[in-house]
Amino acid sequence: MHDPLKPIYAAAKSVRRHIVLSEGLDPRIIDGAAAAIKQELAAITLLGNKEIVATAIEARGHNASDFNLIDPADTQHHEAYASGYYELRKNKGISKEFAHEGMKVPLNFAAMMVRLGDADGTVSGAVATTADTVRAALQIIRKAPDAALVSSFFLMVLNQDHHTKKGVFVFADCGLTIDPDAVQLAEIAIASAGSYIALTGNEPKIGMLSFSTMGSARHDKVSKVQNATKLIRERLPDLTVSGELQFDAAFLPAVAQSKAPDDDVKGDANIFVFPNLDAGNIGYKIAQRIGGAQAIGPILQGLSKPANDLSRGCSAQDVTNMIAITAAQVK
């Protein structure tokens, strides 16, 4: 079977970054991280009570000595991390005592490890909600200075026999930005193009999705997508982008020839930017559950350093995939 993730795995293996996972007791985290270690995708730190986590690792047939284990509640790093957290959040009114307690929370501790350079990236969300995962990343790792906003995307892998078009596609934003305006939609598209290049090395071709194709309908929601497309072209005229497009016109060359014969993407988009979170979240789940696509994410973009979220319904393979992606994201 064709493996579209092979280049991402190769990129991760070539640099072998250090990834910290905050949910060290979850069996999917343990198995997925063990597979990442075996494939030399990254060095791995698991957070939690060291004795309990080590016992859980051994019980699942892995070697605990292959992992770095840290207990956020009992570590030599606690004082420095708590101090750093206090400096970050003191303008929000937190006390030093609150900062000390906050650094006992694995999600926060993992984010601080990344912020301070003690790890290259972090993965969580097998247990924690997306809201908690993103909050820790935003509060501690922070937005990249050159990013207009933090958004997310899913890597949608089409590699089954019934998939007539195979490869890795980006769906954005399916997990974070609820109702972006035209400016935010343009930023999501531009960030997604950068992420696609970083992870695949291929040329991005962006379809700005709508219920309308090239003026077939008139509505404020259509105008938003049209305006976002215009903003992208003004900022990055060499980037291949078309909009507004219905999904079939962005995905199928034959439909594009019929509906949008002058379209630059020509039915060959590899990045699909949805107009809002309703459409994005529903769209990726239909592709996953009915279409049989593998959905990896939500992957965050726009942070100063990588921090990524898992679905609470994730598998061990999803964990391994996300470790490889997070490692490949490190600049």
For residue 155, the model assigns a pLDDT of: 92
Residue closest to 284 by CA, chosen among 131, 153, 124, 133: 153
pLDDT confidence tier of residue 247, bands split at 50, 70 and 90: very high
Relative orientation angle of helices 27-38 and 50-59, to the nearest 10 degrees: 70
Q: State whether residue 271 is helix, strand or coil.
A: strand
Fold: same for 5-142+304-329 and 151-290: yes
pLDDT confidence tier of residue 330, bands split at 50, 70 and 90: confident
Q: Encode pLDDT of 162-178 as tens digits.
A: 988 888 999 999 988 99
Higher-scoring residue by pLDDT: 198, 303: 303
Contacts of 129 (CB under 8 A, 6+ apart): 312
Where are the domains positioned within the chain?
Answer: 5-142+304-329, 151-290
The class level of CATH for 5-142+304-329 reads alpha beta
The partner residues of 68 in beta bridges, in order of sequence, read 45
C-alpha span between 137 and 264 (Å, rounded):
36
C-alpha span between 312 and 293 (Å, rounded):
18
Has residue 313 got a pLDDT over 90?
no
Helix, strand, coil share of the chain (percent; to 5): 45, 20, 35
Residue closest to 241 by CA, chosen among 216, 217, 207: 207
Tokens of 175: 């997990």
pLDDT confidence tier of residue 1, bands split at 50, 70 and 90: very low
Has residue 2 got a pLDDT over 70?
no
pLDDT confidence tier of residue 312, bands split at 50, 70 and 90: confident
Tokens of 40: 């030399």
Q: Does the predicted model carry a pTM greater than 0.95?
A: no
What would the CATH number be for the domain defined by 151-290? 3.40.50.10750
pLDDT confidence tier of residue 92, bands split at 50, 70 and 90: confident
Q: What is the mean pLDDT of residues 207-229?
A: 89
In the 8-state DSSP scheme, what is residue 203?
P
Has residue 4 got a pLDDT over 80?
no
